[in-house]
Structure formats: C-alpha cells, structure tokens
Amino acid sequence: MNQTDFSKHISDFFGSYLPNECGVTNNTIKTYSYCFTLLLEYFKEVELIRAQKLTLKHITKERIISFLNWLETTRKCSTNTRNARLGAIHAFFKYLQYRDVTGIAMWQDVLSIKFKKTGVKQMPFLSVEAIKALLDLPNRKTKKGRRDFVLIGLLYDSAMRVQELIDSTPSDIRFGDIVTIRVIGKGNKVRTIPLTDVQANNLKQYMLENNMLDKNKLNNPLFSNGRNGKLSRMAVLKIVKKYFQILKQNTSIIVPDDIGCHALRHSKAIHLLEANVNLVWIRDFLGHSSVTTTEVYARASDKMKKEALAKLNPGIIIEGKSSWQKDPQLLSYLKSLQLDF
C-alpha cells in the first residue's frame, strides 16, 4: 500500500523531528502520539476516513475544531485536556511549515486555532494533619502496604510529579548526612531534592527489604509492578486514590472528590509556604521554570490569607472555609510510542 503524505510526515515527526531536533522527552512523545491516536479514531468514526486513506488535505481547520469539540462532548474530556491535544496538533503543524512549504497557508490556518479559556480552579490540597492521617492508612504489616506507605510518603515529601516517581531508580538516591533524590523533570531538567530524615529512613528500609542496594539492581524501578517493570501512571493513581477514599470514608477530614496524586505535590508546596519558606526556593524544589508558576500557591492557602489579614487588622476573624478491529500500520506505530500511557 502506498504511503500517504500524512503517514510519511507523522513518521518523520515522531521518529526524527521530536527526539532529534527538538530533544523532547519520551513522555512528551507518548502524550503527542496518544493525541494522534484519538485524531485517527475521530476521523474513522465521525468523518468516515480510515487511517490508511487519511491525507493532510483532510485535516482542515474546521475538522480540527470539530475534533476538539468531539473530545469534550463525546469523550467527556476537560478543557485542559482539549488544550493539551491542541498543543500536540500545533506542534505537528509547526513542523509541517518547515517540511512542506507548499501547504503553508493551510498549516497556518490550523495554527490560528486558539486555546479555549478555562476558569481558574482552586487546587485541591490537604492539611498537615490530613497528610499524617493518610500515611497512617497503609497496612505496614504487609509488603504491599509498606510499599504504598513509602510511595505516598515520597510523593508528598519530595513533591515529585507522578512521572518523575515512575522514572526513579535506586541509583537516584544519595545517602549521606542529607539524603537526596535526583529527579529528571519536564524538559529533561535535572534537580536534586532533599528528603526529611523520617522519609529518608522509611525509604532506606524499603530499599533494604527489596534488596535495591545491590549494584545489579540500581537501575531497576524504585517502585515496580508484579512483572518488575515500571508502574504505570494509572497504577500509581489507583494506589493513591484508594487511600484518599479510605480517608474520606473513615474520618471527618474533608477530601475533595476530584483529588489525585498531584494534590500531594500541591499540599507540600502549600505547607512550605505556610512555614515561610522563600518562594524562589520552592520554585527550585518543585522544578518550575518560573517563579510565576509557583506564585499560584501563594494565592491558595486560606491559612496564609487569614494570617495576612490578621496582621492588618487583629480584630478581623476570617472563617476558613474504540475499538479498532483492524489496526492500520499507522495506528500500530502510534500506539507503539505509548508504552504504559
């Protein structure tokens, strides 16, 4: 079967342009490839164009907008997810501007699609007391319970992103007077995070129990599945949400319905701010490229708002409140890029 121009360019985009010219991470490639898997699904189901017949002339501005609306209405994606998918499409059409100038007017037409505005949503986070209660839940008499205890504790203590945790290995841990973990974050930026003494001790005991200090196991996943491979993002989310649900059902602590792994990262940032840690240091701790990103936490803490108002007026009291039956080669190629997505 003859290769279409879309198939040719999508192969070059993922196989050469993104990794070699842009130097993006594997996680970015997985995310982008998933977007195009969805786009192929949309064209098959809605436009009745199969992957092996899809050409660049089919991918118009109007159809991309229809695809984005389909994500929200049919697949029930959030506005943020819609915008993330558009970001992947924009990246591909920016690539096309340099690879195929004959269609530049069409490429720029797609690039003119704007991101949809989203409402400002308050980030869910837990109090220090709630975090302590959460860490009391795993059954440390079982091996799996001890793993969950250390995993949740490390997510909070280090404020790591889930993918950063998944990619961590025993070789990233440095034991000494100050125990640290080396993290490779977004854009392959490396940062070193100090751990508290309690978390460092818990982590060391976990590593000893699982023989992770053996030099032959230093590059194994720090947290693995039953096949000794990396945990998936969904597996980590399932572990964390399990204990959030128990916390919600068995205590009087208020736990938001939409809370997930990122709430542990948010909670750590809020607690550092409430402890009067400098915002610039928190930026580096979280791995943000700009302090502007970190400033959102300064607006999120009710405790800090209350204390600030109390300093201005001590008399004021603030109450806290698709299935594809026959996978075309192009689809199979895209899915091969999504390992553990």
Enzyme catalytic residues: 161, 186, 262, 265, 288, 297
Confirm if 162 and 262 have CB atoms less than 8 A apart.
yes
Neighbours of 33 (CB within 10 A): 22
The DSSP annotation for 215-226 comes to: GGGTTS-SSB-T
DSSP character at residue 116: P
How many residues are present in the chain?
A: 341
Q: Calculate Rg over the CA atoms of the chain.
A: 23
Confirm if 230 and 167 have CB atoms less than 8 A apart.
yes
Instruction: Say how far apart CA 324 and CA 38 lie, in whole Å.
Output: 11
Q: Which of 51, 59, 68 shows the shortest CA–CA distance to 106?
A: 59
Sheet with 180-184, strands from edge to edge, namely: 173-174, 180-184, 190-194
Instruction: Say how far apart CA 341 and CA 331 lie, in whole Å.
Output: 15
The DSSP annotation for 244-297 comes to: HHHHHHHSS----TT--THHHHHHHHHHHHHTT--HHHHHHHHT-SSHHHHHHH
Residue 198, H or E segment? helix 197-209
Instruction: Say how far apart CA 173 and CA 177 lie, in whole Å.
Output: 13
Confirm if 234 and 261 have CB atoms less than 8 A apart.
no
Cα 116 from chain centroid? 20
